[in-house]
Amino acid sequence: MRIVNGLVFRPDGRWERLEIQCVNGQIERLLPQEADQEKKGSGGSEKGKSVRTRWYEKAGETYFDASGCYVLPGLTDIHLHGAVGHDLCEALTDVRGGGDKTGEGKQKERISDIRKRTLQAISAIAEFEYSQGVTQMIPCTMTFPADELTQVLKACAAYASQTDAADRAELTGIHLEGPFLSEKKKGAQKREFLQKPDAVKIRDWQEAAGGLLKLMTIAPELEGAMECIRKFAKVIHFSIGHTEADYETAANAFLAGADHVTHLYNAMPPFGHREPGAIGAAVDAKQCFAELICDGVHVAPSAVRAAFTLFGDDRIVLISDSMEACGMPDGEYQLGGQKVLVKGKLATLEDGTIAGSASSLYQCMKKAVSIGIPLESAIKAVTINPCLAVGLEKEFGSIETGKRARFLILDQRLDIVEVIKEAEGQINARKRDCPARTGCVRMEGLLS
């Protein structure tokens, strides 16, 4: 497969007109190209051409004509809970409310039900994320009892072990958001399931996840938190969040090995000139990446711009923190077993607490640009930065030879033109007029 005539976003933030040649799912060559050097004979590169006319065959190869478009790496969302009516932990909520499956005699049936529903939820979420330009995702759990989280993690490991689905975002890790959180800064997490940090539980969860546990949000002021960070920092990225920590406590957590902040500004003390708190400690910890929800609800535009100024565009990671209402109409939904009311882009619990977002990562990127963040900075924050934050940069996050062939094509208004994945000779594109898709995860094998 070749992508031609587009302006390609380079790792150093420049735009360059390149021909991208992909073989067996990898970027093989990047060749300099003059403007519209290679055109489709029947369609040309005129403005307004349909997406389908951009695809064509020549000398046995498939081409995509990206004339007038930006070519980006596929986006990476490292913090999302759900979308299109599904949530990673929805099975725990459904089972918990079912009544007849919580008895000891129904344990096997209950575990099977959690696994089945979790697999179905991941598949639906991943398909939606792909339609929004996300080609890699690290979904988040919520705070639930340890044994129930274990079943969700096992289902994630089973899903990820299958052949990468051509028409879905790939599950490249798991973010455990809870249960080691501050009670006073719990946000939309359930108080009764919060726990003190426990190294044995972390070990067991990582084993259940098959090593996929990439991120763990933790409140460093809790008893046992520092020990857990020191013990597992080489295999898990610890993220300071849902915390009351002061500057000194947070700074010590970063010295112990933490290198991430969960949704900057939200569920933590404010940044004060005398009491800078966890935010100030994160600014000073140069290895630290800071998540930011830029949906127009969680953080004011001036605070978004301030974050980019304080951290620099190399350390900001835009996230969606989306819940199941993302991609759905206004109405009543759930998050972590709690009722959520959604109107527009605002999602709240019944007491008014903000409960995740109803925006996709792509929408957050566009929002960032609309409030004055340079396009190049916003793109870094949804492509290479999240990959660097969790150790995925060798395969994803930038358009370079040897990396995976995953692309987001945008027009000059930043509207999605096409989403492309090439793997083992199979090309999947969001809008391409092609034969039946192949390579999808076969759910029946996972559910047995």
> Any idea which of 80-89, 216-225, 347-356 has the lowest mean pLDDT?
347-356
Per-residue pLDDT of 275-287, as tens digits, reads: 999 999 999 999 9
392: exposed, middle or buried (C-beta count within 10 Å: 0-12, 13-18, 19+)? Answer: buried
Q: Which residue has the higher pLDDT, 179 or 36?
A: 179
Cα dist. 302→219, 299, 314, 344 in Å? 26, 8, 19, 21
Residues paired with 3 in a beta bridge = 20, 64
Which segments within 354-415 are labelled E, that is strand? 405-410
Q: Which residue has the higher pLDDT, 115 or 439?
A: 115
Rounded to 10 degrees, what is the CA torsion of 250, 254, 257, 258? 70
pLDDT band at 338 (very low <50, low <70, confident <90, very high): confident
| Cα separation, 140 vs 133, whole angstroms | 19
Query: Going by DSSP bridges, is the β-strand pair 416-423/426-429 parallel, antiparallel, or unpaired?
Result: antiparallel
Per-residue pLDDT of 273-332, as tens digits, reads: 999 999 999 999 999 999 999 999 999 999 999 999 999 999 999 999 999 999 999 999
* Mean pLDDT score across all residues of the chain: 90
> Which tokens go with 357?
């977002």
pLDDT band at 261 (very low <50, low <70, confident <90, very high): very high
pLDDT band at 94 (very low <50, low <70, confident <90, very high): low
Which pLDDT value is given to residue 163?
61
Which pLDDT value is given to residue 45?
41
| Cα separation, 49 vs 39, whole angstroms | 12
What domains are there in the chain, each with its CATH number? 2-72+399-429 (2.30.40.10), 83-390 (3.20.20.140)
Which pLDDT value is given to residue 44?
40
Residue 146 has pLDDT above 70, yes or no: yes
| Cα separation, 115 vs 446, whole angstroms | 9
Angle between helices 361-370 and 375-382 (to 10 degrees): 160
Residues contacting residue 221 through CB under 8 Å, at least 6 positions apart: 182, 243, 244, 245, 246, 249
Per-residue pLDDT of 355-411, as tens digits, reads: 899 999 999 999 999 999 999 999 999 999 999 999 999 999 999 999 999 999 999
Q: Which residue has the higher pLDDT, 439 or 64?
A: 64
